[in-house]
Amino acid sequence: MPSPVSELIDLLTLERLEDNLFRGQSRDIGTKYVFGGQVLGQALSATQSTLDTPRTAHSLHAYFLRAGDTDHPIVYQVDRTRDGGSFSVRRVTAIQHGKPIFFLAASFQQVEPGGEHQLTMPEVPKPEDIEPSPAVPADVLAKLPIKVQRWLSRMGPFEFRHVYPRDELNPPKRPPFQQVWFRLAERVGDAPELHRELLAYASDFHLLGTATFPHGISYYQPNVQMASLDHALWFHRPFRADEWLLYSIDSPTAQGARGLARGLIFDRDGRLVASTAQEGLIRVVDDSGKATGTSA
């Protein structure tokens, strides 16, 4: 049986159909629809495959248009928008069942020196000093929807250590902040393109969920509907996805059934390696099916 890490790398390795046309498989990991991080990582993989000169992805901006079907592959059509003296821009459309489900614009830069500064990493316990999250008891798991059972019982490709754990099945109300250590569960090769794709995939975990904290709700609750609307990711410095990274997330606002979350990703030496932002749908539905917003 292939490991979860090798399965993820296979998922991010696309089939080239034409010079600018690629096909990626989908995987059901327990989410209702295709996991947003999968589409983001595959779209980045497609764009990186069209570069003729060695340039590094520094900025991704994406919109999720339709829910993805986990039972069918996704086709990625890349537009080579510009190749300048220092920067390249690519646009990619993800297509499924003949309709666009996702747009991405990505910018790449030739490596060059320049002034540097960054915010300081939060002071938190080291990942080895934090206990892994305990497994959900079997009797509790059996009462949950099948999709949620699959999500909570799977051994994923990434390991997470929450600095301030929260019971997602019985979520308390708390301020919209969290810090999560994460790393790929196995060592992989040195290709920086692969590590950027892996980080793009992982950046969708825990981000939007932070916006639910003040309302005492969770994605696992049957009356809560959540979906990513857009996602931005900036790469700042080299990193390895198979070494511990700290995801420091906050949510400055939620309104109109939408929540906004922002994240800073540091390596364990305190270097800021990436930043994220995401807005998503957060809708609570009562017994009649009427949306009631994000208040608990």
Active centre residues (catalytic): 204, 228, 278
- Between the CA of residue 22 and those of 14, 38, 50, 81, 153, what are the distances in Å? 6, 14, 10, 17, 32
Rounded to whole angstroms, how far apart are CA atoms 226 and 106? 25
Residue 127: partners with Cβ closer than 8 Å, 6 or more residues away: 161, 181, 183, 244, 268
Would you state the structure tokens that stand for residue 97, as one six-digit string? 């069942």
Rounded to whole angstroms, how far apart are CA atoms 262 and 265? 10
Rounded to whole angstroms, how far apart are CA atoms 257 and 78? 32
Q: Which residues pair with 122 in a beta bridge?
A: none
Dmax (CA) of the chain: 60
Q: Which residues pair with 247 in a beta bridge?
A: 180, 265
Rounded to whole angstroms, how far apart are CA atoms 286 and 293? 10
Q: Where are the alpha helices (DSSP H) in 176-248?
A: 192-202
User: Strand, helix or coil at 160?
Assistant: strand
Would you state the structure tokens that stand for residue 202, as one six-digit string? 């992982």
